[in-house]
Chains A and B, each alone.
Chain A
Amino acid sequence: MTDVLVAVALLLVAAAATAAVVNRDPARQAFVLSFLGLSLALLFTYVQAPDVALSQLAVGSALTPLMILLTVRKVTRGSAGGPARTAGPGRRPDRGTARDRRPRRGERR
């Protein structure tokens, strides 16, 4: 029975990791990353490593996605506010977000 659980959890981790790679927009990626941390924690529990799962739960599913979201927010706000008005090096983050904003195929907005 444990083998079945580990196999299902492994499949889930593989699917979540693939989804995290396929999603290109960092703000949306953060949600998938949080899910990946969750499924990794489940996998670690099923292979009898609850200590690793504990840290994975705290860091992987909560801390990392939140830091990514904070960073994205900071970057987009910086490009919408101060430095973006002056043309020059400040425009750089704007270009990056414009690429990320492009709606992707098969994705509802």
Chain B
Amino acid sequence: MRTSDGWLAAALVPLVLLAPVLWRVATGRPRDRLIALNLAQLLAALALLLASQGFARSSYLDLALLLAVLAPAGTLVFARFVGGVPAAPFVRRIACAAVPATVLPLCAAGGVSRQSVKLLVIGALLVAGSVVTSSGTQESAEADVADPAGGGTGPGAAGGGAEGGVPGD
């Protein structure tokens, strides 16, 4: 199978960047972990996009598409447990810079085809998901107050106290 080393080397960049993000996911307050997980999903989607071009298999794009759809939904559900979506301008800036910087060269390399349309859709989904999940909500400010007041309660209990109930519970 023909692989192109340039694109695979580019895929190495988000992969290596995942290491410091893992540190943040493993040690930190629950809200920091949520932000770090959001960033990790974005970086993983970029790595998958670049890998699909590197392995010259357009069907690998489905992975990035699935991740682009699932990641914001998962983050929003996680956010219910930490009491609202935490504001993360850093993640938003990275999304607005890195996603076009990845998707547009991929489109240029592939030429005008169904694949480039798919790439653009995935890029738009990634940016939209990151913008939605990195903009803070009012709830997060309340959770800031509620968290120290809760003292020893776990993050799940603090989130439950801050926002009331879960539908379907």
Contact = CB atoms under 8 A, between A and B. Distances in A.
Given A35-B37, A48-B55, A66 B63 contact: no
Contacts of A9: 15
A34 B37 contact: yes
Interface string B41-85: 100100110010011010110110011001001100110010000
Question: What class of interface size applies to chain A in its complex with B?
Answer: 35 or more
Secondary structure at the A interface, as helix, strand, loop or mixed, is helix
B26 A66 contact: no
Contacts, number: 137
Given A1-B5, A12-B15, A12-B18, A76 B156 contact: yes
B22 A45 contact: no
B66 A12 contact: no
Interface of A: 1-2, 4-5, 8-9, 12, 15-16, 19, 22-23, 25, 27-28, 30-32, 34-35, 38-39, 41-42, 45-46, 48, 50, 53-54, 57-58, 61-62, 65-66, 69, 72-73, 76-77, 80, 97-98, 100-101, 106-109
Given A27-B155, A31-B78, A32-B26, 18 more contacts: A1-B5, A9-B15, A12-B15, A15-B19, A23-B26, A27-B81, A35-B26, A35-B37, A42-B44, A45-B51, A50-B57, A54-B66, A61-B41, A61-B70, A72-B156, A106-B27, A107-B27, A109-B29
